[in-house]
Amino acid sequence: MTCFKKQVARKVREMQRSLFQRTGAIALSLLIAVALLPISPQQAAAVDPEKGIEVAVDSSSLDAAVTAAKADGVTVTQDADVDKGSATSQAELDAKKAEITEDYNSQIEALKAAAQEARQKLAEYATKKAAYDTALAQYNTDKAQYDSDLAQYNTDLAAYNAAMEELERKKNEDGYMKEPASQSLTFQSEPNATMSFPNGDQTYTQSEWKTYFDNNISSQLGSNPAYGANDFNYINSVANADETRVILHKDQPLKVQYTNLQNSYFNGKKISKVEYTYTLKNTGLPGVDSMPALIEKDPTVTLWYLNFYGEADINMKVKFYDEDGNVIDPTGALLNFSSLNHGIGTSSTPKVDGQDTVEKVRSFNGEFIEISGSSITKQPDGGAYASNNNEQKSAGSRFNTSEWDSDTNSNAWYGAIVGKVTNPEININIGASKRGVVWFALNSKIKAIAAPPKPVEPTPPTPPTEPVKPVITASYHYDVLYVKPQVEKKVLDQDNKDIDTNTVKTGSIVKFELTTTPFPAGHETIDSVIFRDTLPEGYELDLEATKSASPDYDVEYDEASRSLVFTGKDALITQINADRTKEAAVPAPMVVGKVTKEGTTYENQFDLDINHTYSVKSNTVKVSTPEKPSVSPKTGDDTVLIPITLMVLSAAALGARRVITRKNQSF
């Protein structure tokens, strides 16, 4: 009998093990299938099936910094959210919130720095843009003028080329340059020029000039007044307010500056100043190392000097300046050398009576261009002057002086030659041989016929460069934090005493309390809170008592599957979301019922579902009921075998159901 019982017990255990393995495999397959199901698009986006409930950290200061930076001109972009993970405790949650606050503060400082940079650079840009707009308006005006000037230039250039062709055809005719050249210098009259002596050279009054002459020069000329005294006294008496009396001393430069020039140009560029430097090189008179001169107020009229019938040699250096004070390179300019006389001394000038008297350009660091028909030619000694008499027809001249020796004479070319500048600084030696009073004028009034000025091509204006608007960039991001609610299942007696793992009487009241930690401050919007519990076999649910103990929930129970569902009512959901800046407690639903089977262990856990997305399982609790006392059979083996067999099979079936129930309760 005993052996038979052991065999039956062993058979029952084998059947239980087989059923457990099969049901476990089925349960695992179901879990895998559920895990692979797609997430419904209607689920709240912020709830994560793995991470839990999203918890917001105040980002208002960051948002304000973003708005302020944009207002200051910063191009702000939002980067992807940064996942700060999930917290499972209040301490961990507080630490992660502090980390996020620090991150936000760091981003705020970066945005403020970008805003400051933007304000500075955009202010600079605004200034540059305003200047550009002004410059652009001026450029448009200048461009219109340039277009007009260019059209005029093209017209003038065509006329110039035609004139030059005409000069080339007539270069061998009287009054035409033998080598046609264009005139780029306008330097003909400056009556309003301001004259000065920058080196402080002495100027003289009429009486002072006379005194100097009498004391230093007169005695060296001889006793005859006709030897020079008469000439001096005459010129001293007729000198006017436009003429300044000076004394040239041998080898001592005398510098004269002319400003306020109004009519002078080179290649279209304004000439604002001209500077002459005179240096007496020789008088040709024994004992005479100084020479009286009259400096003209108009630089184009230039000067008079007294030669006293000697061999005057005066070096003259010429510099032109633009409006910015820069030296102008006048290369290519044409200078007028005219009124160069060659005569014969008379009895009125007994010192040179019957001798040749000649006015000369002794040297020039440019090129001489002769005029066809002129008496002035390039000389072997490097100068330019008349080789023969050009004053008197009776002495072989083609014309008398009255016919050519004036700017108004049509034959003025007869006593002239042209000088072409080939160096930035003009260097001339002027002088005379056995003349008394000599006038030398430096200007551009060429005596050759129809020497036109070459038109100057206008310079196109340079368009201003538009400043580039600075682009100051910055980025920001939000931090995402989740919390995993901690759930706990308690098993209680009728007096709400914890009876987990205890043995209780069959038929006693056993309660299951389903608790979860509060939703933290900053939690996302909660749409649903659902507790699911599959009750163990042998536990008899008191549905009405359960509903009464769980007033915040709609309670549904499926007796066939023993599935119990608590769904948070609308009022509860509203209460949870009423102020998401504060922590929201979640009332614990209560399962009320009895344990009805003897010798049974009742194990149970529940699932918490939030927003149909995040699910978490509770701990497992258990209570047991005592075994029913054993009863010995009073009949033989045959009479006992059948009831025992039926009992074993019944126990096996019950055990299988209990295993299945337990597996349904496990995660």
Contact indicator for 295, 246 with CB cutoff of 8 Å: yes
**pTM, full prediction:** 0.54
* pLDDT tens track for 319-340: 999 999 999 999 999 999 999 9
**Closest by alpha carbon to 585, among 515, 490, 519?**
519
DSSP secondary structure letter of residue 659: H
**Helical H segments across 329-370, by residue range:** none
Share of the chain above pLDDT 70, in %: 87
Cα torsion at 192, 193, 194, 196 (round to 10°)?
Answer: -150
Helix (H, G, I), strand (E, B) or coil at 621: strand
Q: How far apart are the first and last CA of the chain?
A: 42
* pLDDT given for residue 654 in this prediction: 43
With tokens 């005719």, the residue in question is 173
Helix (H, G, I), strand (E, B), or coil: what is residue 33? Answer: helix
Return the pLDDT at 655: 45
- Tell me what pLDDT residue 23 has: 40
Contact 153, 457 (CB under 8 A): yes
The rounded distance, in Å, linking the Cα atoms of 667 and 665 is: 7
Q: H/E element holding 84?
A: strand 82-87
| pLDDT attached to residue 36 | 35
Segment holding 428, helix H or strand E: strand 426-433
- The pLDDT, as a whole number, for residue 255 is 98
**Cβ neighbours, 10 Å, residue 618:** 22
Environment class of 536 (CB within 10 Å of its CB; exposed 0-12, middle 13-18, buried 19+): buried
Cα separation of 76 and 111, whole Å?
9
CA quadruple 486, 491, 494, 495: dihedral positive or negative? Answer: negative
Residues of the chain with pLDDT under 70: 1-46, 630-667
Burial 220-244 (b: 16+ CB within 10 A, else e): bbeeeebbbbebbeebbeeeeeebb
Positive or negative: CA dihedral 316, 319, 320, 321? negative
DSSP state of 20: H
Helix (H) / strand (E) containing 31: helix 2-36
Asked if residues 125 and 449 have their Cβ atoms less than 8 Å apart, the reply is no
